[in-house]
Chains A and B, each alone.
Chain A
């Protein structure tokens, strides 16, 4: 609503007829917001429509063409989707589990322990915010091969388990936890692990939830690294499967591609629609630094 006011000089808006004008502008403002929203949802909306129609009807834009689910059947039979789904779920959960353990321990050390060299190591860790595993695909591929993890789900997930972002986020959160809680736990006889498990982890539960949602959705969508280190249907995640399925050499038509695309993105999209508020809150929370 603030943007349209740029269009006219300040005094004019306030002068005679200002009220009428500003009401018209507010209408235009709403119109603009809705037009952009329509434009933004259009590709997905068209894919939905195309997925339920024959390619002939789709390409001819025949709005009266009958709806049918045949494309979904064709798409479903064209690739081992259940296997790909299982691989993605396993991948995403193992990355998350690894991240939660590894990054919690590191963040706790950075937040509450004092030892020489801590700041230097923290700065080193932050480098990974910029140097993502994708940038180093050639070397990382070599390391995964040398570890004997080529074409395994662990090999796909391992480079992401020590996430600098998670360490940073959890360290910030741990530092906000009042010291008194820790002292009380210590008097009760807790060791450092007890303090971490009983005081710090429960205290920052919302941060964990936020990070988990961001991590799951971003690794569900990851493509380049899995493409490089997987080589069989037994390990391939859904994104790589989708790219093979939609490749022009496969000769599948636009309606079947749309159906396949919707099919494979449905779990995440439906999850997003149901937990919309939490998802957006999660992104908001993890974005604030």
Chain B
């Protein structure tokens, strides 16, 4: 009897999972496996069968200077935008959580960029960056600076893109810090104040450690976004000039859909997947340890 109930449970369970598993297989599991597979075959040609070439596509990738530049760009992009937007998000959250005059308006201003599509955000910033006539150069002009073609020269293009990313992301991450701050028991603050701790001391020794899990969560999200969110490149620079602001996924898109070199795109995608797998592994390891403590 119990085995019958157990079998029934298992049957219903799998039935309920079925739609989700079919869709996840179609658009996550199968594509992942076939990307790895494709990365080891020659470039698809009409009328010619695919040929197994082993790691040749990877060798081609590693000998392509563009790949190294794009990888370097993406690493720099991560190293600059992630810490800056996290620190800004934390500062914003502390401000939005304090008893500031006009707190609601301030919070609204911080959060609004999050609601805009990245494409729209890029359009707005395009106006700021217009050489000579844009707002940035106008302000520079007041201080006697020469006009700069922010998006059109290799030295500044990637940095100009990063500013837009930070502007867009900081307010989003603020929300998670705000949630964490509001869940800190008020008694902790009262106890600290009675003990004579300054506000800064309280923030540093009590609040920041309590925000660590949030920081980890935000960090993982920021990492994923810094690989997968490249919409603004389409408006601001198209990866140029001379690949100076090209990020990995944009390059993959271009390689596959503009140059039709799907093998190289597949090999590059596998490397991105590997990086994401490391991020996932690190996160699960940390989360595991955290639950272990509790």
Taking Cβ atoms with an 8 Å cutoff, the residues of A that contact B are 1-3, 5-6, 10, 13-14, 29-30, 32-34, 36-38, 40-41, 43-44, 46-47, 50, 59, 61, 101-103, 105-106, 108-110, 113-116, 118, 121, 124-125, 127-141, 143, 158-159, 161-162, 164, 167, 192, 217, 220-224, 227-228, 238-239, 242-243, 246, 254, 257-258, 260-261, 264-265, 268-269, 272-273, 276, 279-280, 283-284, 287-289
Contacts and interface: CB of A to CB of B under 8 A. Distances in A.
Given A34-B106, A242-B119, A254-B127, A167 B20 contact: yes
Listed residue (A29, A132, A222) with the most chain B CB atoms within 10 angstroms of its CB:
A132
Contacts of A136: 27-28, 31-32, 35, 269
Contacts of B175: 280, 283-284, 287
Interface string B11-37: 011101101111110111111101100
A34 B117 contact: no
Given A2-B94, A115-B10, A127 B230 contact: no
B66 interface: no
B99 A1 contact: yes
Contacts of B53: none
B117 A223 contact: yes
A108 B172 CA distance: 29
A162 B20 contact: yes
B224 A132 contact: yes
B252 to A, nearest CB: 7
A138 B252 contact: yes
User: Chain A: interface secondary structure?
Assistant: helix
Nearest to B135: A46
A246 B252 CA distance: 23
9 contacts: A33-B98, A101-B19, A113-B10, A113-B13, A127-B28, A133-B28, A136-B27, A158-B27, A221-B117
User: Chain B: interface secondary structure?
Assistant: helix
A157 to B, nearest CB: 11
Nearest to B279: A130
Interface string B115-156: 111111101111110100101001000000000000000000
B125 to A, nearest CB: 6
A135 B249 contact: yes
B235 interface: yes
Contacts of A161: 23
Contact of B276 (A37, A131, A257): A131
Contacts of A284: 175-176, 178-179, 182
Given A34-B106, A36-B92, A46-B135, A2 B98 contact: yes
Contact of A140 (B27, B108, B203): B27
A276 B108 contact: yes
Contact of B23 (A6, A34, A102, A114): A102
Listed residue (B95, B207, B235, B253) with the most chain A CB atoms within 10 angstroms of its CB:
B95
Nearest to B177: A287
Contacts of B38: 139
6 pairs of A and B residues whose beta carbons are closest in the complex: A5-B200, A139-B31, A113-B13, A162-B23, A115-B10, A106-B20
Nearest to B25: A162
Contact of A258 (B20, B123, B257): B123
Listed residue (B6, B124, B135) with the most chain A CB atoms within 10 angstroms of its CB:
B124
B276 to A, nearest CB: 5
Contacts of B249: 134-135, 137, 224
Contact of B167 (A40, A113, A227): A40
A114 B9 contact: yes
Given A36-B92, A102-B20, A243-B234, A128 B128 contact: no
A114 B11 CA distance: 10
B2 to A, nearest CB: 12
B68 interface: no
Interface in B195-237: 198-203, 207, 217, 224, 227-228, 230-231, 234-235
